[in-house]
């Protein structure tokens, strides 16, 4: 059996019999976890082990665990600073900021690897134009060069911990005010402006070996009338063609309002795959997940499968070993000054 093109979520801290059956569907290839799936590190590790044991090759297990407002697992995990904290430090001391970003990527990835999670959808490569509340401090900086510098260091840290990186939200979500969870944002800038700014961090990380990309549910109206995640121009001509990206493309959640312009859940899934996505996320709507699996039809893409299996994490490390290490203690202490004390969770 290969990894299918659909990533689903779970309702609680244990899998139900119905969820187990759904995750064995040949179209399923992964699971994304949320705060509702977390009670303790031990419980999370058992849940991930059960998911991994369902099939071979094992399903991918992912999470949004960036730090700041977007950190799904909190008590029992280190509180990670928002990306903006690294950017602020960069204006004072670029070299030290890069070092801290690498530590942050390593710490985030190491703690997730210690409970079996394969990867986090990180880092955010959007630029902070000061207009998007849903991005905001999730972005490293306004300057594309600084974002690329810090994100590459963060990716190096993740890789050192055995975790692949996924950059988001291609080609850039930071210049629009609306939140694509509840609206369809429209970015009216010409392609030349997006290329000169927003694409630069993606291009830099792709050249450094970025393994995954998540496109934005944003319409770039001067370029294509479809949101980027449903646009062959953005995913094939620009991302794969011009930028040379060879990794996996993950749709953003197809249940978000920004995706509804493409039709019902099956039409959205078909459009995203046709545009070039390798894996489709369906979150918080189990009825939509069931409809997608029933209506999508057979899908067997060996190239997509190879892209996805490369996201299986490496270098397993026990939680006791990690928390007892001097490297972990030093990383936690070094990152503490970067916090801005914003702990409200953002459900994205």
Is the bond leading into 123 cis (omega within 30 degrees of zero)?
A: yes
For residues 282 and 289, give the distance between their C-alpha atoms in angstroms, rounded to a whole number. Answer: 6
Nearest in space to 104 (alpha carbons), one of 147, 144, 156: 156
The total number of residues shown for the chain amounts to: 348
Angle CA(185)–CA(249)–CA(19) in degrees, nearest 5?
95
Angle CA(240)–CA(243)–CA(245) in degrees, nearest 5?
45
Catalytic (active site) residue 42: no
Is residue 88 a contact partner of residue 32, using CB atoms and an 8 Å limit?
no
Catalytic residue among 99, 181, 260, 285: 181
User: What phi and psi values does residue 213 have, to the nearest 5 degrees?
Assistant: -140, 140
Tokens for 205, please give them: 């990380």
Catalytic (active site) residue 181: yes
Give the list of residues 6+ apart from residue 261 with CB closer than 8 angstroms, or none.
184, 219, 226, 227
189: left (phi over 0), alpha (psi -120 to 50) or beta: beta
For residues 146 and 87, give the distance between their C-alpha atoms in angstroms, rounded to a whole number. Answer: 7
Tokens for 181, please give them: 């969870």
Give the containing element (helix H, strand E) for 34: none
Catalytic residue among 64, 126, 149, 252: 252
Give the list of residues 6+ apart from residue 18 with CB closer than 8 angstroms, or none.
none
Q: Which residues are catalytic?
A: 181, 252
């Amino acid at each position: 059996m290969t990894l299918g093109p659909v990533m689903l979520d779970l309702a609680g801290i244990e899998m139900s019999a119905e969820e187990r059956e759904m995750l064995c569907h040949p179209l399923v290839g992964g699971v994304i976890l949320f705060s509702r799936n977390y009670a303790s590190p031990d419980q999370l590790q058992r849940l991930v082990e059960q998911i991994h044991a369902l099939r071979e090759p094992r399903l991918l297990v992912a999470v949004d665990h960036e730090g700041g407002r977007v950190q799904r697992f909190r008590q029992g995990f280190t509180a990670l600073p928002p990306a903006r904290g690294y950017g602020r430090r960069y204006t004072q001391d670029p070299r030290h900021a890069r070092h801290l970003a690498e530590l942050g990527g390593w710490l985030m990835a190491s703690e997730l690897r210690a409970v079996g999670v394969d990867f986090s959808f990180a880092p955010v490569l959007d630029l902070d134009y000061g207009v998007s509340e849903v991005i905001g401090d999730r972005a490293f900086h306004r300057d594309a060069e600084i974002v690329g510098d810090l994100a590459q260091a963060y990716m190096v840290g993740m890789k050192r911990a055995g975790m692949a990186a996924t950059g988001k939200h291609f080609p850039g979500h930071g210049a629009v005010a609306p939140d694509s969870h509840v609206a369809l944002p429209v970015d009216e800038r010409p392609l030349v402006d997006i290329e000169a700014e927003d694409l630069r961090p993606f291009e830099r990380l792709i050249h450094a070996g970025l393994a995954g990309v998540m496109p934005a549910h944003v319409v770039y109206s001067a370029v294509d009338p479809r949101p980027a995640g449903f646009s062959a121009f953005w995913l094939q001509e620009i991302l794969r063609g011009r930028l040379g990206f060879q990794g996996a493309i993950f749709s953003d959640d197809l249940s978000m309002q920004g995706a509804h312009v493409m039709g019902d859940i099956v039409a959205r899934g078909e459009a995203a795959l046709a545009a070039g996505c390798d894996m489709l996320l369906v979150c918080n709507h189990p009825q939509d997940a069931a409809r997608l699996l029933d209506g999508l039809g057979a899908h067997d893409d060996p190239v997509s499968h190879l892209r996805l299996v490369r996201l299986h994490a490496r270098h397993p490390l026990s939680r006791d070993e990690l928390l007892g290490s001097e490297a972990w203690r030093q990383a936690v202490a070094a990152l503490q000054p970067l916090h801005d004390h914003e702990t409200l969770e953002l459900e994205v």
